[in-house]
A and B are shown apart, each in its own frame.
Chain A
Amino acid sequence: MNTKSEFAVPTLKEYPQIPVIQIGAMSHSKPFVAKAEHQQPLGFPGELVDDWQQVALRKMEELLGKYRALPVFLDSCVKCGACTDKCHYFLGTADPKNMPVARQDLLRNVYRRYFTFAGKHFPRLVGAIDLTEEVLEDWYRYYHQCSECRRCSVYCPFGIDTAEITMAGREILASVGVGQKYANEIIGKVHKLGNNLGLPGPAMINTLEGLEEEIEEDIGVAVKLPLDQAQADVLLVTPSADFFAEPHVDGLIGYAKVFHQAGISWTLSSYASEAANFGIFIGNYENMQKVAQRIRDAALELGVKRIVVGECGHAWRVAYSFWNTLIGPFDFLDPNYPVPQHVCEMTYDLIQRGALQFDRERNDDKVVTFHDSCNVSRASRMGNIPGGQFVIPRALIKAACNHFYDMAPETIHEHTFCCGGGGGLLTDDLLELRVKGSVPRMEAFKRVVEDHGVTHMAAICAICKSQFAKVFPYFEFEMDAIVSVHQLVGDALQLGVER
């Protein structure tokens, strides 16, 4: 694979090094631009509008008045540099515009020029710049080299979150007619069909029936994957990649086994067949709300009592942090369970209650480590205590596996590195960026592989799983070294035993 790539694949170093900046190192990287047919259904103009500067500045003014974070973050940066060596894309590419503060400055310098006294009257002094075509191009390039993972915000003395700036940048870009094809096309599919893949209902029925047969052949137990079953207790909303992608689908089988063994009646929905919500990636409130609304509607329609969300990082952020605001209140659901509940929380509770038994030995062929997904780690929570999002998935892995080792402490928990494909960048037109951006995670993985003989990395995010399956081979790791947490759970779970 290495010989085929059109770019130099970085070599993994023994210990992480902060690169010397290389100006313009990634200035060639940009994703395909959305066509009119991807833009218009989302409410954006089909191509670059004639008076794009005015439109962009008006949009910026609107956003400044809409999101408090924006003026606060743009005003408050003191250029202390604490974030400059924190972004995986900077560490992997050395392009200085991938330093979080420099990425923010692309927007900040324009903000200063048009919206602040200092920038209007002394632009050179404060680095303010005019909004030129060149700047717009830089926005498009570099706001699509940020995975909105929030790692920089952990270290910023003012909590400046580059994800918020990137979202604003992308929203301005889409509003002048330069959206990103990958994300916008996907959002359009959800609006139309209910999932990112554009999978229609009949295809889902086929897939789920196939999986049921596969499980029964495999273990001799009739584990069901119900679809559109009214009056089920639980509506499971999971990323549509779980329906067919590897290793995602093994995670879905794992959830099904847990529901089966716990005796919980559950269902998937063909109308709300997607937990992912790319509305967050493009920073657009209305699209994010519209995508989420399908889930509320499905829950009401099916008459369920609970909503459980499958393994997906940004989906969990939207569900946990935003759903209650966007599509709440959930007063029609059972108040005895958190709304929404993460599938890991559900399984964890069942284990605590003694409802699940495991044969850990079944996973003895694996030595496992866990990749904390960025949105779960830094933008959400599981359980009742801060940091529960780190404890619970690990507890599940340890319940199902005998051999577990964490990666280096500076690369896990709130310090975790993005997989390199998050934030709407999981597209092949950004492959070079994805490979290079994965380097910090790959280096940490390599160390546990060498030190502890780790064979598998478990994750709870559809994007992470796809990304690692894609980039592992570039670094001489096996493509299938990435597994779902619920695959491990499902493989070790004793089915049919006394509860």
Chain B
Amino acid sequence: MSVVYGILLYGVAAVLLCGVGYRVVRYWRTSAPLKIPTTPAPVTRGGVVLRMFREVVFFESLFKGSKWTWLFGWIFHFALLLVLLRHLRYFIDPVWGWVEWMQPAGVYAGYGMVFGLAGLWARRLMVDRIRYISAPSDHLMLVLLLAIAGTGLLMKYVLHTDIVALKLFFLGLLSFDWQPLPTDPILLLHLFLIIVLALIFPFSKLLHAPGLFFSPSRNQADNPRERRYAPGAPTR
């Protein structure tokens, strides 16, 4: 089982990196022939950095658009960030001080993830407009994330696993010195779901993460008169 998961994890890491890398390179190489920032927009590069920061960190536009979606969406994403940071302790030794310090927050964030996801799913199911635009994959994505958060919380509170052995397994993977993986079904399920998530990342709407940074309506400065924007006519 350790070998199967080891190979799976290496493989999925490669798919994730290459898949997202391929997309990013393709976005990068595709020209943006015209200035199309949604205005009012910052008139300087520095202003654009600030605008992107507010989008990435506070979801500024979504806040303008829908308070409920913003609330659930922001809680989910922020909680996910805390949970990911908390998980750093399985991959580094010795554990950095601040990672140790934020462990309790990371645990509560697990509930935050479930709360946010449940809210988003409830909207998807109950608001007629959002139900209309949802494909099966949009529902399944939420189920998958809920299952990941759920199995994680279960391991924390009900079905404990040997996290010392788990850490050795991951440190081993990182140093190419394979160690046995604990075989509790709940842990294997948790890991499997994460592998699935990582695998579909480069092929799904999860590309919104890198996509935001390439969005011309957000990342362009509004200065077409002051500085001639001349990327060249789009070539056929």
Tell me whether A and B are bound partners: yes
| A interface residues, Cβ below 8 angstroms from B | 18, 20-21, 62, 64-69, 71-73, 75-86, 96, 99, 101-102, 105, 116-118, 122, 124-127, 150, 153-161, 164, 285, 289, 320-322, 324-325, 328-329, 338-340, 377-381, 384-387, 389-390, 414
Q: Is the CB of B65 within 8 A of A157?
A: yes
Q: How far is the CB of A63 from chain B (nearest CB, A)?
A: 9
**Contacts A67-B33, A157-B55, A321-B36 given; does A73 touch B215 at CB 8 Å:** yes
How many angstroms between the C-alpha atoms of A77 and B233 in the bound complex?
Answer: 27
Question: Is B1 located at the chain interface by the 8 A CB criterion?
Answer: no
In the complex, given contacts A72-B216, A161-B217, what are 11 additional A-B residue pairs having Cβ atoms less than 8 angstroms apart? A68-B27, A77-B205, A78-B138, A78-B205, A117-B203, A125-B136, A154-B38, A157-B59, A378-B39, A381-B41, A389-B39
Q: Write the chain B residue with the least CB distance to A64.
A: B30
Give the residue of A102, A118, A378 whose beta carbon is less than 8 angstroms from that of B133.
A102
| Cβ–Cβ < 8 Å partners of A84 in chain B | 127, 129-130, 133
**11 pairs of residues in contact across A and B, judged by CB atoms under 8 Å:** A21-B129, A67-B31, A75-B208, A80-B62, A82-B70, A102-B132, A102-B133, A157-B73, A325-B224, A325-B229, A325-B230
| Cβ–Cβ < 8 Å partners of B27 in chain A | 68, 71-72
CB-contacts of B122-158 with A (<8 A): 123-124, 127-130, 132-138, 140
Q: Write the chain A residue with the least CB distance to B222.
A: A381
Q: Is the CB of A82 within 8 A of B62?
A: yes
Give the residue of A83, A124, A338 whose beta carbon is less than 8 angstroms from that of B136.
A124
| Cβ–Cβ < 8 Å partners of A126 in chain B | 135-137, 204
How many angstroms between the C-alpha atoms of A78 and B211 in the bound complex?
Answer: 11
Q: Is the CB of B65 within 8 A of A82?
A: yes
Closest 4 CB pairs of A and B: A155-B65, A76-B211, A127-B135, A82-B65
| Cβ–Cβ < 8 Å partners of B224 in chain A | 320-322, 324-325
| Cβ–Cβ < 8 Å partners of A20 in chain B | 128
Q: Write the chain B residue with the least CB distance to A413.
A: B40
Q: Write the chain B residue with the least CB distance to A70.
A: B30
How many angstroms between the C-alpha atoms of A82 and B62 in the bound complex?
Answer: 7
Question: Is B43 located at the chain interface by the 8 A CB criterion?
Answer: yes
**Contacts A69-B36, A158-B218, A386-B222 given; does A21 touch B230 at CB 8 Å:** no
How many angstroms between the C-alpha atoms of A127 and B131 in the bound complex?
Answer: 13
Q: Is the CB of B62 within 8 A of A157?
A: yes
| Cβ–Cβ < 8 Å partners of A379 in chain B | 36, 38-39
| Cβ–Cβ < 8 Å partners of B123 in chain A | 81
| Cβ–Cβ < 8 Å partners of A75 in chain B | 23, 205, 207-208, 211
How many angstroms between the C-alpha atoms of A320 and B235 in the bound complex?
Answer: 23
**Contacts A76-B215, A84-B133, A86-B65 given; does A68 touch B230 at CB 8 Å:** no
Q: Write the chain A residue with the least CB distance to B232.
A: A325
Give the residue of B64, B217, B225, B228 whose beta carbon is less than 8 angstroms from that of A320.
B225
Question: Is B165 located at the chain interface by the 8 A CB criterion?
Answer: no
Tally of contact residues, B, Cβ under 8 A: 66
**Contacts A124-B136, A157-B62, A381-B40 given; does A322 touch B34 at CB 8 Å:** yes
Question: Is B46 located at the chain interface by the 8 A CB criterion?
Answer: no
Give the residue of A153, A329, A339, A390 whose beta carbon is less than 8 angstroms from that of B38.
A153
**Contacts A81-B129, A321-B34, A321-B36 given; does A69 touch B217 at CB 8 Å:** yes
**Contacts A20-B128, A80-B73, A82-B66 given; does A339 touch B211 at CB 8 Å:** no
Q: How far is the CB of A186 from chain B (nearest CB, A)?
A: 21
Give the residue of B207, B229, B234 whose beta carbon is less than 8 angstroms from that of A67.
B234
Question: Is B192 located at the chain interface by the 8 A CB criterion?
Answer: no
Question: Is B89 located at the chain interface by the 8 A CB criterion?
Answer: no
Question: Is B69 located at the chain interface by the 8 A CB criterion?
Answer: yes
Q: Is the CB of B128 within 8 A of A289?
A: no
| Cβ–Cβ < 8 Å partners of A21 in chain B | 128-129, 132
How many angstroms between the C-alpha atoms of A153 and B36 in the bound complex?
Answer: 11
| Cβ–Cβ < 8 Å partners of B215 in chain A | 69, 72-73, 76, 158-160
How many angstroms between the C-alpha atoms of A18 and B132 in the bound complex?
Answer: 15
| Cβ–Cβ < 8 Å partners of B62 in chain A | 80, 82, 155-157
**Contacts A65-B30, A69-B36 given; does A79 touch B233 at CB 8 Å:** no
Q: How far is the CB of A306 from chain B (nearest CB, A)?
A: 13
How many angstroms between the C-alpha atoms of A161 and B61 in the bound complex?
Answer: 12
| Cβ–Cβ < 8 Å partners of A387 in chain B | 40
| Cβ–Cβ < 8 Å partners of B207 in chain A | 75-76
| Cβ–Cβ < 8 Å partners of A328 in chain B | 228, 230
Give the residue of B132, B138, B208 whose beta carbon is less than 8 angstroms from that of A99.
B132
Q: Is the CB of B32 within 8 A of A67?
A: yes
Give the residue of B32, B43, B134, B236 whose beta carbon is less than 8 angstroms from that of A68.
B32
How many angstroms between the C-alpha atoms of A21 and B33 in the bound complex?
Answer: 37
Q: Is the CB of B205 within 8 A of A154?
A: no
| Cβ–Cβ < 8 Å partners of B133 in chain A | 79, 81, 84, 96, 99, 101-102, 105
Q: Write the chain B residue with the least CB distance to A77.
A: B205
| Cβ–Cβ < 8 Å partners of B33 in chain A | 66-67, 285, 325
Q: Is the CB of B40 within 8 A of A79?
A: no
Q: Write the chain B residue with the least CB distance to A75.
A: B207
| Cβ–Cβ < 8 Å partners of A377 in chain B | 39
Task: Give the most central of B27, B42, B211: most A CB within 10 Å.
Answer: B211
Q: How far is the CB of B91 from chain A (nearest CB, A)?
A: 28
| Cβ–Cβ < 8 Å partners of A83 in chain B | 65
How many angstroms between the C-alpha atoms of A10 and B204 in the bound complex?
Answer: 40
Question: Is B35 located at the chain interface by the 8 A CB criterion?
Answer: yes
Q: Write the chain A residue with the least CB distance to B205.
A: A78
Q: Mark B172-201, 1 if CB is under 8 A from A, else 0.
A: 000000000000000000000000000010
Q: Is the CB of B211 within 8 A of A118?
A: no
Q: How far is the CB of B24 from chain A (nearest CB, A)?
A: 10
Question: Is B111 located at the chain interface by the 8 A CB criterion?
Answer: no
Q: Is the CB of B43 within 8 A of A386?
A: yes
Q: Write the chain A residue with the least CB distance to B215.
A: A159
